A and B are shown apart, each in its own frame.
Chain A
Amino acid sequence: MSSVLRSDDKVTPLRTPERALVEFRGVEKRFFVDGSWNVAVEGVNLSIVQGQVVTLVGPSGCGKSTLLNMAAGMFRPSTGRVLYRAEDVVALNTRVGYMTQQDHLLPWRTVFNNIALPLEIKGLSRAAREQRVQELVHLVGLDGFERYYPSQVSGGMKKRCALARLLAYDPETLLMDEPFGALDAQMRLSLQVELLRISQQLGKTVLFVTHDLDEAIALAHRCVVFQGRPGHIADVIDVDLPVERDLVGLRFDTRYVQLTQQLWRLMAPEMAASATGGKQS
């Protein structure tokens, strides 16, 4: 049986336990909105070990993005601590790459030049840049759209462009806020495969916000379940699936099905009862 872990439990079945890379300790964040304090998240304890893919799942407005923002150092928690490599995050955290919900592409740059941006900042030569960008363009399936401006391509393409830009800049930790939301099923699957491959091969740590419960299990080493409001961690599901995953075959894996059902039950107890009943028959 899957163990429903408390967030501060040390068990990480996939890798030898190391010191936490990203750690939230008793984090609460309040925002001052229209003359009153609004608590976005409270009582969050969570530590993420290097190389782990952790998905954050839960309804809209339960503070998942707020946690990513704090990990990126956009703002500090109202109480508690946010640590990165055992140090408080007090300024912008340049070790993380952030793929936000809005793509934030630069409208005056073509798809190609948007992806090249982080490489320019790093000071790569033109030739090296072009080669790397071409690889990434191919990876996210934007071949033939290199010279288009963001205003000329679809929402899904913009997302892919933003993903390629994130990968171009190759940060230690990837913060991803619903990155695959606007994509079609095939593209989503191929990018999920790619994300898992990158995280495994390069040991990238990933914090991945999603609304998609299947995705939340399929990608995760651990799946953190949020409930609102104010947002808090309701549960942490330890996803004891093999590290090497076949994301297509996974759909028929009994353990995977069990875990997704568990998540469905947590997220929507009433609906899950009927839904899982149908699946099991």
Chain B
Amino acid sequence: MKLSVGTVYFWRITLVVVFLAVWQFSSGRLVSPLFISAPMNVMSRLWDLAASGKLVYHASYTAFHALAGFALGALAGTALGVILGRLQWLAHILDPFLMGFYSLPKIALAPLFILWFGVGTEMKVLFVALIVFLLVFLNTYTGVRQVSREQVTILRLMQASEAQILRKVVLPSAITWMFAGLRLSVPYALIGAIMGEMLASNRGLGYVLSDATAQFDTAGAFAGLVAIIAMAVVFNATVRVAERLVMPWKGVESERELSF
């Protein structure tokens, strides 16, 4: 069944309204506000945070941690993914180490990161970078490995140089996978940043969250969550727009009617 855009939005908004209404109603009547606060309180707390400039202050730190780490990790991950994708022998040697590293719960490394890099910005950025790096690397590597050997050979027959093959076949072909890795990493970048801020920081949305809960300020905690969700939505949308711009043929393929 194909729903019209209007119908979809109608139901989405209805869901939110019902959810908020139930929340507001149950707060103080069914559940103590200490646990769930209430939408009105969260709203006003959010407003206070915004008006005092604290929201922008903390959000900008979180955004910086997430974005800087994302950029660093994505760059390193793409580079290593392309290199190992092209150098099979090296990939073969490194395979068990990379997979072992990948399966490690990254949060387990956080205390070590604090030990190595302190409690400042570097720790959060590098922690985010590590998480993003692994995801982007693995996807890019797979993408480069998936490049059609036939297409590469056809370019070789045209006397293309290795650099031309990389630029004209390997990278465009791997970019779908790269973007899948990037899209996957966005929430993880935020998780990494927030986690770092919760563990050791006095600024950032993660700090707002842990500070509020430490003081039993449930409304403050929810306000922090709302801000985090908003940031995640913006990041995701940005990646999607970038994807459209970089890979116009993908949009064309998905809009196409299914046919054989």
A residues contacting B by CB (< 8 A) are 72, 74, 92-94, 96-98, 100, 102, 104, 106-109, 117-118, 120-122, 149, 151-152, 169, 171
Contact = CB atoms under 8 A, between A and B. Distances in A.
A74 to B, nearest CB: 7
Contacts of A171: 157
A169 B154 CA distance: 11
A108 B157 contact: no
Interface of B is mostly: helix
Nearest to B150: A104
Contact of B172 (A94, A108, A169): A108
Contacts of B155: 117, 121
B153 A152 contact: no
Interface in B156-199: 156-160, 164, 168-169, 172-173, 175
Contact of B151 (A94, A97, A106, A169): A106
Interface residues of B, number: 22
Contact of A121 (B153, B158, B247): B158
B159 A121 contact: yes
CB-based closest 8 A-B pairs: A108-B172, A149-B249, A118-B158, A121-B160, A94-B159, A108-B249, A151-B253, A149-B252
Interface of B: 148, 150-151, 153-160, 164, 168-169, 172-173, 175, 247, 249, 252-253, 256
B150 to A, nearest CB: 5
A72 B168 contact: no
Contacts of A98: 154, 157
Contact of A74 (B153, B159, B164): B153
Nearest to A148: B252
B157 A120 contact: no
A47 B175 CA distance: 44
A121 B164 CA distance: 7
B156 A94 contact: yes
Contacts of B168: 106, 117, 120-121
Interface of A is mostly: loop
A151 B252 contact: yes
Contacts of A120: 164, 168
Contacts of A93: 157
A127 to B, nearest CB: 20
A121 B168 CA distance: 9
Contacts of A122: 159
Contacts of B253: 107, 149, 151
Contacts of A151: 249, 252-253, 256
17 contacts: A94-B156, A98-B157, A102-B150, A104-B148, A104-B150, A104-B154, A107-B253, A108-B173, A109-B172, A118-B158, A120-B164, A121-B155, A121-B158, A121-B159, A151-B249, A151-B256, A171-B157
A106 B158 CA distance: 14
A108 B175 CA distance: 10
Nearest to A105: B151
A97 B252 CA distance: 30
B167 to A, nearest CB: 10
Given A74-B153, A106-B168, A106-B169, A152 B158 contact: no
A157 to B, nearest CB: 14
Contacts of A117: 155, 158, 168
B151 A104 contact: yes
Contact of A94 (B157, B164, B247, B252): B157
